[in-house]
Every structure is written in C-alpha cells, then in structure tokens.
Amino acid sequence: MARAFLLVLDSFGVGGAPDAERYGDLGSNTLGHIAEFCAAGAADRAGLRSGPLKLPNMSALGLLEIAALASGTRPAGMPPPEHIFGLHGCANEVSKGKDTPSGHWEIAGTPVRFEWGYFPTEGDAFSPELVDAVCEKGNLPGILGNCHASGTDIIARLGEEHIRTGKPICYTSSDSVFQIAAHEMHFGLERLVALCEIVRKILDPLNIGRVIARPFVGESAATFARTGNRRDFSVLPPEPTLLDRLVERDRKVLAIGKIGDIYAHQGVSRVIKANGNDALMDATLEAMDEALNGDLVFTNFVDFDMNYGHRRDVAGYAAALEAFDQRLPEIHRKMQPGDVTILTADHGCDPTWRGTDHTRERVPIMAFGPGFRERNIGIRSSYADIGESIAAHLSIPSGRHGRSFM
C-alpha cells in the first residue's frame, strides 16, 4: 500500500533563505530564535513550559541537521538525538510572495511566478472607489478599519463600534489579502461569508490572493475572541497542482483544516474542518484510517502561525511545537508498509521578529515511513520538490517544476 500524509506546520521556518534581505527578513529564523529564547529562559511561561526547547521526535527526524543546513547553526539548547530516521533537508521558496497560498501551491508543485496585488502601506489601505463598491454590493452602511493591522488588535479596538454600527472591520497585512472581521451573532456568520464572496469577485481584477472571513464572539474588548469558523477565499492556482493530478486519477485528497480554502476547493475530494492543533491532529489520525492506496491526507496546522507567530508569542509557539512533537508517534503507529509522512512548512513567522508579518525563510523537510533509511536530501531548490516526491511515491506522472527526492 502506498499512501501519503503531508503535514504543514504553518510558518515553521528554519531561516537561511538566500533572498531574505529582499523581503526585509535577513536574519529571521523561526526555529532558531524560539530555541534561543527557550535556552535563555526567556520563553518560559508559568504552568505551560520551561527550559530548553524539547522536540525529541522531530530531532530524531533530522530537525537539528536541517537547522544547521539551512542557517549554519544548530538550535540552542536542543540535545542531538541518538539516531536519525528518514529523509531530512530543507527547501528554498521560488514563489514571489511569502504568503500562505504561494507556499502551499509551491509545495503542491505549482510555484507562483507572478506578482500579487497588494494594498498601500501608507494612508488608507483601500481606495474610496473600492470601499464604495464593497458597501454598495454588500449593502453596508460603511466599513471600519481600512488599514494594515493585526487581527486580534483591530478587533479589540473596533469590535464594540462594529457591534454598535453594523459596519464590518476591514483590514489587510503585508500579504496580498483583504480581511473582514465581524461578529458571528450581531452581524451573522452567513452574512459575513456572503460578504466575503462578494468582495472576492470585486478584487479579482486586482489579483489579490485571498479574502478572509474572520468571525469573532464576545461583547466587549476584554471578551472578544476569534472563532474556528474562519474561511479563506483564494484565487485559483495558476495551473493544475498535485491535488488536481491525484483527483484526475481517481485518488482521494482528504483536505484537513484550511487546505480546501487555500486551493479554492480545487483538487479536493473531501474537506474536514477542525479548530486547533489537537483537533487537527485528531482529524488527521481519523483520515489515516479512511485513506486507501494512492490517497493523500493533507493537513495545515494553523495555530503556529495564527496564534503564536503573528502575535509574536515565543512561549506559546514553543509550547505548541512541543505539544505537536509529543503526538508524532501517533502518526507513526498508524502508518502501514509503503506509506510516507512528510512534515514541512509554507513560510516563516519568526515570533521574535519586528512587526507581525510572515518572514522569508527556508522550510524543513522531514520524510519518514516504514522502510525509509536515513538520508540527507540537502537544500532543495524549490518547495515543489515536496509535491513531486509525493507524486513519485503515489505513482502518478511528474509535474513541470520540481524534482523528487524519494
């Protein structure tokens, strides 16, 4: 039996990107800086974690060697494993953005060679003409925000005014994205989703990568909390991805978390929603029981990025990595002869870095399964090698942009 399980630790970069300076990210290193802060005691949080970063299972899959390969230094305070299992290396991103769709599409064999549209960083993010179109087609009294912002910050700042006026909170970031935050009850979840679908059509000529629905609950700045009903509305990938090639050959692609949204629900057999890393791991384990010969289970673990990277929460990121690492043996126990599991990331989001945005970094590649021998696969020239390795493993024709390391 040959099945593939692709797990994306959203934003878990390992530094060293050769073009990091062009993105203002020279020196960023998500893993390296988290480990450094933990080793120094700066990432301890009472009752949550303490001491050096503890990732014994990923270390046994070559994570420390990956870090040294990617950035030239091993993570501080992390002891080397007795043995290393499986294939390990890292990959450069060739796509022009450091955003979620670009990283995921490239992982699936389709790099983004074009330039995304972006909103201005100074003054209003959205033009009067765009705001008028959104309000007219969305039947809105107006919008709040109209700026670059952190989602949690802007909801705390404008949430009460949003409830009072009925105006949705619209904002962007350094990514190619239009985000809309609205209260699930006072504004309505269905209405928010419908508004995002309207805005998606309005923005298509501007080549904006995503429109994101950011629902929240609570009645005051102190109690507002985003929910798990986030929806991403992406443009279609520029050409067929690994997912499309699998579905065309009657293979199943089980998309867990936000994977379906990222690929605009193209090349997806079934969408499985879950909220939080533990629930996403539970859903992955259940999907492993369902997957048949030739199928792909594809999961995005979003908490690393959404809850800790963007919020620059080093302790939270460290604790989330340790919790994920502790559950990896559950994946291994579910694997059968012929299976492969690949751990990787889509970009970096160094929680020690300035600002709140993604960081341009190399990403780790850890591939393991029954019968896999230890091998260093080096620095891959593109994330697309990941998708082409899965294609080779599942015996479907290769794509145009990557090269298998299997």
Does residue 69 surpass a pLDDT of 70?
A: yes
SS3 65: helix
SS3 351: coil
Contact 179, 173 (CB under 8 A): yes
Average pLDDT score over the chain: 95
Span 369-388, pLDDT tens digits:
998 999 999 999 999 999 99
> Measured at the alpha carbon of residue 9, what is the angle toward residues 7 and 13, in degrees to the nearest 5?
130
| pLDDT band, residue 122 (cuts 50/70/90) | confident
Give the other-Cβ count within 10 Å of 17's Cβ: 28
226 sits in which H/E element: strand 225-226
Greatest alpha-carbon pair distance for the chain in Å reads 63
**φ, ψ for residue 329, nearest 5 deg:** -60, -25
Please state, in angstroms and as integers, the Cα–Cα distance from residue 43 to each residue in 10, 49, 133, 174, 377, following that order. 20, 8, 45, 26, 32
Residue 1: the pLDDT is: 66
Please state, in angstroms and as integers, the Cα–Cα distance from residue 277 to each residue in 9, 31, 224, 317, 320, following that order. 10, 18, 21, 12, 8
Does residue 188 surpass a pLDDT of 90?
A: yes
Span 9-52, pLDDT tens digits:
999 999 999 999 999 999 999 999 999 999 999 888 767 899 99
> Cα Rg for the chain, rounded, in angstroms?
21
Which residue is listed with tokens 């990956």?
Answer: 66
For the segment 231-241, the average pLDDT, to the nearest whole number, is 92
For residue 175, give the amino acid letter: D
Residue 42: the pLDDT is: 84
